[in-house]
Structure 1
Amino acid sequence: MATFESKIAINRSVNDVYQFLADFNNHGQLMPDNVQNWSASYDEAGFMVQNTVRLSLQITERIENQAVNITAINNPPFPVQLHWSLIANGESTDVTFTINAEPGGLMKMMVSGPLQKLANHEVSSLAALLKS
């Protein structure tokens, strides 16, 4: 399994950050430009990555003001799980976004860089959107 992680402190309450992340409708705002045809409901989202692969995601667990766990569904090219972890730190929130993926052999080398960039992009986009 390969793990990609990005962390940031956001100057917003843990409840504000959690409420944003708990609704998949908001996640489209965090995606990089190579994500196309984003569609979402409260619990599920689907999108294309540069006209190459269609991915579907589902929020599998919400732990109020602590975590949002997401799993790739509907036959992804390899197993992927996303985890948003939130820790209140006074009036700000420490956010960690982790991507756990299980790409095989050569695929691991091809996707490692893009998955780390995705983790970094989503965290920095979240901070930019929620800056007060």
Structure 2
Amino acid sequence: MSVFESTVTVSKPAAQVYAFLADMNNHRQLMPDNITDWTSTTDVASFTIPNITKLSLQIDERVDNGLVRIIPAEKPPFDMELKWELSETDGATKATFTITADLNMMMKMLASGPLQKLADGETTNLVSILS
């Protein structure tokens, strides 16, 4: 398994960060600009990454103010999990976004850079939106 992780501090309480992340409708704002065909509900989001693939993701687990775990709703090109872990200290929230992907060597060479960029971009966007 390959792991891509990014951590940021958001100057909001964990409850507010969690409320934003627990709704898949909000995740469009975290995604890169090149994402197309976005459709979502509170629990599921489907979208296209141009020239790569179409994905459908669903929230698999919610732990109030602490965790949002997202898994594929349909068979993806490779097994993956996206996880937001939150911890609050002095009114600010540390948010860690982790992408875990089962990549073969060829996919790892091709996808490692874009997946790390995605992890970093989502956390950066989260800070921008909630600050």
Q: Would the TM-score normalized by the shorter structure come out above 0.5?
A: yes
Which residue in 1 is equivalent to 2:114?
Answer: 114
Counterpart-to-counterpart distance in 1, 2:47 and 2:3: 22
For structure 1, the 5+ residue unaligned runs are none
Displacement of 1:62 in angstroms is 0.2
Which residue in 2 is equivalent to 1:50?
Answer: 50
For structure 2, the 5+ residue unaligned runs are none
Which residue in 2 is equivalent to 1:97?
Answer: 97
Counterpart-to-counterpart distance in 1, 2:51 and 2:106: 21
Counterpart-to-counterpart distance in 1, 2:3 and 2:104: 14
Counterpart-to-counterpart distance in 2, 1:26 and 1:114: 21
Matches within 5 A, 1:1-132: 1-131=1-131
Identity of aligned residues (%): 46
**Partner SS state of residue 12, structure 1:** coil
Which 4+ stretches in 1 moved above 4 angstroms? none
**Partner SS state of residue 46, structure 1:** strand
Displacement of 1:51 in angstroms is 4.0
Q: Which amino acid aligns with 1:43?
A: D
Displacement of 1:60 in angstroms is 0.1
Cα-Cα RMSD? 0.8
More displaced 10-residue stretch of structure 1: 19-28 or 67-76 = 67-76
Q: Which amino acid aligns with 1:112?
A: S
Normalised by the length of structure 1, the TM-score is: 0.97
More displaced 10-residue stretch of structure 1: 66-75 or 111-120 = 66-75
Counterpart-to-counterpart distance in 2, 1:51 and 1:113: 16
Displacement of 1:34 in angstroms is 2.0
